[in-house]
Amino acid sequence: MLSILNIPAFNDNYIWLLEANDNHCAIIDPGNAVPVLEVLEERGLHLDAILITHHHHDHVGGVPKLKACFHDLTVYGPTTTRFPYVTHPLSNNGKFVLFNSIFTVFQVPGHTRDHIAYYADGMLFCGDTLFSGGCGRLFEGTPAQMLASLTILTLLSDNTQVYCAHEYTQANLKFALAVEPNNFLLNQYASDVNVLRTSGMSTIPSSIGKEKSINPFLRTHYASVKAGVKHRVECTSDLDTFTTLRRWKDEF
């Protein structure tokens, strides 16, 4: 099994380090090379691969410097001309083996049109698609695309650990509570998250099961969520509910 370490970057990014048991590792979404290189030196690790979920600078900004430091790097990423440094372009349901683990690729457009997520060994690395208590903004995709992408992720086992790329949980839960104030599990989770953040601790990873119980963007089929958005617009379909939620969150 791979061991996982989060490397904080910028204000709220998490760069994920996947460490094998032979001092080799991979990095997911290195927006900044400096903290990555510091951790690699501190732990005596060799960087074998980089996994990219999407093209935003806070996820790829460190790639050129890391490639300059490790000339044999494999760089996995979406199949798109916007990723000139990708050596192994990936498409939906593609698979590759890294450190004896089989990684499956999910195409999850919405935040960007070519966003992908990685799944291996009960762990989901979803970039800016799914957050704890929320989902990514729709910079390039449509509400229908993002809802479909999130639905794909909910089909994974409830025990799947969710490693998203930002520490947005506390803010997301304030919005979730505005939508579903009477959700007992949500209230309990919000209390636990407040304790963690007060202590300066991370709230990630979450899990698919937890998100299905507290994340309004995964609960658009629930009457309680539809009721929560009713004061803004009458929603009949799950897509209507999701679209209204996303617009409301953008303004929240």
From the list 29, 58, 114, 115, the catalytic residue is 58
Residue 58 annotated in active site? yes
Quote the CA–CA distance of 122 and 161 in Å, as a whole number: 6
CA distances from 150 to 103, 135, 224 (A): 19, 8, 19
Phi, psi of 49, rounded to the nearest 5 degrees = -150, 155
CA distances from 146 to 26, 61, 114 (A): 27, 25, 12
Residue 115 annotated in active site? no
**Which residues, 6+ apart, have CB-to-CB distance to 146 below 8 Å?**
109, 110, 111, 129, 135, 136, 138, 242, 246
Termini Cα distance of the chain: 40
From the list 29, 55, 59, 114, the catalytic residue is 59
Residue 221 annotated in active site? no
From the list 29, 54, 114, 115, the catalytic residue is 54
From the list 111, 121, 221, 240, the catalytic residue is 111
CA distances from 122 to 29, 44, 228 (A): 19, 26, 32
Residue 111 annotated in active site? yes
From the list 29, 55, 114, 166, the catalytic residue is 166
Residue 240 annotated in active site? no
Quote the CA–CA distance of 102 and 99 in Å, as a whole number: 8
Residue 71 annotated in active site? no
Q: Comparing C-alpha atoms, which of 170, 166, 167, 183 is closest to residue 219?
A: 183
From the list 29, 55, 114, 128, the catalytic residue is 128
Torsion of CA 1, 210, 156, 204, to 10 degrees: -40
Q: Please count the CA atoms within 13 angstroms of the CA of 228 that sit on its side-chain side.
A: 27
Residue 166 annotated in active site? yes
From the list 12, 29, 46, 56, the catalytic residue is 56
Catalytically active residues, by annotation: 54, 56, 58-59, 111, 128, 166
